[in-house]
Structure 1
Amino acid sequence: MSSEEGERERAARIIGWVRADAWRLDALRQARALRLPDWWLAAGFVRNLVWDRLHGYSSSTPLNDIDLVYFDATHVDTSVDRALERELRRVAPLPWSIKNQARMHERHGHRPYTSIEEALSVWVECETAVAVTLDDDDGIRLTAPLGTASLLSGQVTPNPRHGDSEVFRRRVVAKGWQRRWPELEIRGL
């Protein structure tokens, strides 16, 4: 099997888990209703679900927030995101965190990103750089610019494209992932 075929199989497995999770499917529908350009639910929304399934947990780990990311180079002011969060929380009272990735390069001192995939490709952990979206026909698509192999292997690895190993170390300590998912293998500390 080629690595491309393996990646397609892994993506299909994750998409199946998302589709089987009624709460996540509802969150995707709520996010879709905003009609944002190139929007995705990312990070723990997908990562934690995978880790829960790998650990055999029957219920999902509650999320601290739901990362809704999108890419719109024409409206990069943070006030747009805050207004969108208020609107979405009014309809779906969940811990939404909305961020236009077209401006996030400024936070990291990078050149401007050209796409959602490029923005995700510099997130701190490889396993966090994964997202799903829902099309108008309820088809789920997954993007993982760094792949899904390490995520489905239960690893937590620093993203070499992020470039700050201290940020990775602090996140691993602060998040306490191994307390919830003891079989995770933390690499690069």
Structure 2
Amino acid sequence: MIGRLELDDLRSSLSRNETLLSVLERTASLRLPGWYLTAGCLFQTVWNVVTDRPPTAGIKDYDVFYFDDSDLSWEAEDRVIKAAEQAFAGLAADVEIRNEARVHLWYEQKFGVACPPYDSTEAAIDSFAATTCCLGVRLEPSGEWRVYAPHGLTDVFNLVLRPNPVLAPRSVYETKAARWREQWPELTVLPWPID
């Protein structure tokens, strides 16, 4: 359970990244089913704030996940991607948008392990290579922030990278950890568990 103070700290930290706020607002306008802004842009913004860096330092892109299992064709996802390109036009950031209902169709070819079909965006977030990365935020129609953080926020604020060996291979975790540690040397990277 995430406490009110942690949620307030998260919102305060993320609100320092104006690009992130714009992505949230523009994504909300697309009205995608089950969407979240997720992954690196969130925890990296927190890391930047905690370590007194500019809020956008080292952020490669902004990932938006949504879940629509009514049409698993590439064409349906591509229509959403094209609509998003218009919504994000003029924004000085790369925004990648993906239908998590389709991940099982391409994951094994890209990462070498099979991915069972997800039943929600939350299930996709649960399978990130590090528990620290398992974080999603969206704007509800009311304007309230909805935060999904199944492992809490303590590691995010304490700069601890903890492996999450539910799907992604060890190599994915270690590659990401090495890249992030170059940018944020303050990170504590916990080792992949030995079987």
TM-score, normalised to structure 1, is: 0.86
Distance in structure 1 (CA, Å) of the matches to 2:150 and 2:104: 17
Distance in structure 2 (CA, Å) of the matches to 1:79 and 1:23: 28
State the shift of 1:7 in Å: 4.3
- What is the correspondence of 1:76-115 to structure 2 with a 5 Å cutoff? 76-93=72-89, 94-106=93-105, 107=107, 108-115=113-120
- What is the correspondence of 1:18-57 to structure 2 with a 5 Å cutoff? 18-57=14-53
2:80 corresponds to which letter in structure 1?
Answer: L
2:9 corresponds to which letter in structure 1?
Answer: R
- How many residue pairs were aligned? 183
CA 1:64/1:80 → structure 2, altered by over 3 Å: closer, same or farther? farther
- The CA RMSD measured in Å over matched residues stands at 2.0
Which residue of structure 2 aligns with residue 179 of structure 1?
A: 182
In the alignment, structure 1 residue 144 sits paired with structure 2 residue 144: no
Moved over 6 A (4+): none
Sequence identity (%): 23
- Does the 8 A contact of 2:58 with 2:183 survive in 1? no
- Does the 8 A contact of 2:42 with 2:135 survive in 1? yes
Distance in structure 1 (CA, Å) of the matches to 2:122 and 2:38: 11
Distance in structure 2 (CA, Å) of the matches to 1:105 and 1:149: 30
CA 1:15/1:78 → structure 2, altered by over 3 Å: closer, same or farther? farther
The C-alpha deviation readout for 1:93-122, integer Å capped at 9, x for no partner, is 341211111122342523322222211111
- Does the 8 A contact of 1:89 with 1:95 survive in 2? no
Query: Gaps spanning 5+ residues in structure 1: where?
Result: none
- Does the 8 A contact of 1:10 with 1:152 survive in 2? no
Distance in structure 1 (CA, Å) of the matches to 2:171 and 2:4: 32
SS at match of 1:33: helix
